[in-house]
Amino acid sequence: MSIALYRYMCLNIVGSEEHVKTIRMVHTVRDNLPGNDDKGRITSGSFGEGLEMRGSDIDLMKKIPFTEVCETINIPCNPDKTYFTMETDDTDPGFTLLRLIHIDEFNPLVFCVQIGGKYYLSNIYIKQIFLNKSSSPIIHGPCISDEDGVYDTAPYLHCKSWITQAQPWITRSNNGWPGHNVKQSIIKQGVLFVAKGIQGSTKEEFEWRISFSVGEKRLIYTFTHTQLLCYALLKILLKDVISIDLDCKELLCSYFMKTILFWISGISTFNMETR
């Protein structure tokens, strides 16, 4: 990146490194305020990453309170929580069914559908709760959006442990980015499950997408400011160039851009350290 472009991005689009740090700190403090239900609100997306760019909406994730997901049923249960377990035998990678295994005093069966004597959490019923609590709501994928498209709120469930499907990320061989300490901090956060199934699937209503948005935000935080500016440029390219072409509009999303940058960052760091 040229010095001129770097300065332009800092002055007019992204802001300085200190400005980005301030934005991140503000969101972190707000997400951890005592009034935050069960510490379950997460500012995600561009705003959570420290990028307050033109046209960006505000992505919020809100935990479904008093619930927990576990990969195995052989765990001690808190009687004040509702527990679900993962079932991935008949789902595509990155998705799971959530089967009810323990009920607290608040009866969650009204949000489940019975299949073969077992109860599975419906992502449609969960989103309906958020629709009823929102003004002028619109369903947008796993999110509930306001009428003006400013806020996207995604309900989620949390699993405290790192799941089997994601184990290869821990053991993937590289000596560069991300470092061991960063990996460990991400693993301790566990994983999330958002209310979105595979479109057209026979079990779309009961599928939940496995989300690593907290870990991804942590990875973005480890970027140098130059890397962050490159990420911002990719988002601008997508929004202002690719998305205005009708033939290409639905082919890419900002998540793909982020993933590409993650892979490039890991490979380039490894290559530099092995020369």
- Give the model's pLDDT for residue 160: 92
Q: How far apart are CA 144 and CA 60, in angstroms?
A: 10
- Give the model's pLDDT for residue 228: 93
Whether cis (ω within 30° of 0) applies to the bond prior to 178 is: yes
- Give the model's pLDDT for residue 185: 93
- pTM attached to this predicted model: 0.86
Long-range contact pairs involving 39-46 (C-beta distance under 8 Å, separation at least 24) = 39/63, 40/64, 40/65, 40/158, 42/213, 42/214, 44/154, 44/213, 44/214, 44/217, 45/152, 46/235, 46/254
Residue 220 identity (one-letter amino acid): I
- pLDDT per residue rounded down to tens, the chain (275 residues): 788 988 988 988 899 999 999 999 998 888 887 665 555 788 888 888 998 877 667 788 889 888 899 988 777 777 788 899 999 988 999 999 999 998 876 666 778 888 888 999 999 888 887 776 655 577 777 877 776 666 788 889 999 999 998 998 887 766 678 888 999 999 999 999 999 999 888 889 999 999 999 999 999 999 999 999 999 999 988 888 888 888 777 788 888 889 888 888 875 543 333 23
Are the beta carbons of 104 and 82 closer than 8 angstroms? yes
